[in-house]
Amino acid sequence: GQQLNQSPQSMFIQEGEDVSMNCTSSSIFNTWLWYKQDPGEGPVLLIALYKAGELTSNGRLTAQFGITRKDSFLNISASIPSDVGIYFCAGQSSGGSNYKLTFGKGTLLTVNP
């Protein structure tokens, strides 16, 4: 089955630093998504990418859909304490009638004020 490798597993940074995390897949996806999850809450959509090569920003967040359609990265610039949480990449394909997501294992981000 499809597998996503997300790295790093965790990061501990100082407030104000930039952060980068990425995902690679053994299979091609038609859409890449990045979610953030706080403890006890559901994942919240941050950015959705629909085309290979696409670079999209949402405030201090920037994400790119890899040209091969098998990878994506997420950058966070000038981190702040509320960026703390678990970040998940997810790939979505449209095989048949199923639009399910396959998730990475997450990157735990800790920001030291």
Partner 1 sequence: DTGVSQDPRHKITKRGQNVTFRCDPISEHNRLYWYRQTLGQGPEFLTYFQNEAQLEKSRLLSDRFSAERPKGSFSTLEIQRTEQGDSAMYLCASSSTGRGLSPLHFGNGTRLTVT
Residues near partner 1, by CB under 8 A: 4, 6, 30-31, 33, 35, 40-45, 48, 50, 88, 90, 92, 94, 97-106
Between 13 and 86, name the residue whose CB sits nearer to partner 1: 86
CB of 102 vs partner 1, minimal distance in Å:
7
CB of 48 vs partner 1, minimal distance in Å:
5
Question: Burial of 23 by CB count in 10 Å (0-12 exposed, 13-18 middle, 19+ buried)?
Answer: buried
Between 4 and 19, name the residue whose CB sits nearer to partner 1: 4
Cβ pair 108, 8 in contact under 8 A: no
Q: Angle 94-74-88 (CA atoms, 0-180°, nearest 5)?
A: 60
CA-to-CA distance for 1 and 21, rounded, in angstroms?
A: 23
CB of 29 vs partner 1, minimal distance in Å:
9
CA-to-CA distance for 11 and 5, rounded, in angstroms?
A: 16
Between 38 and 78, name the residue whose CB sits nearer to partner 1: 38
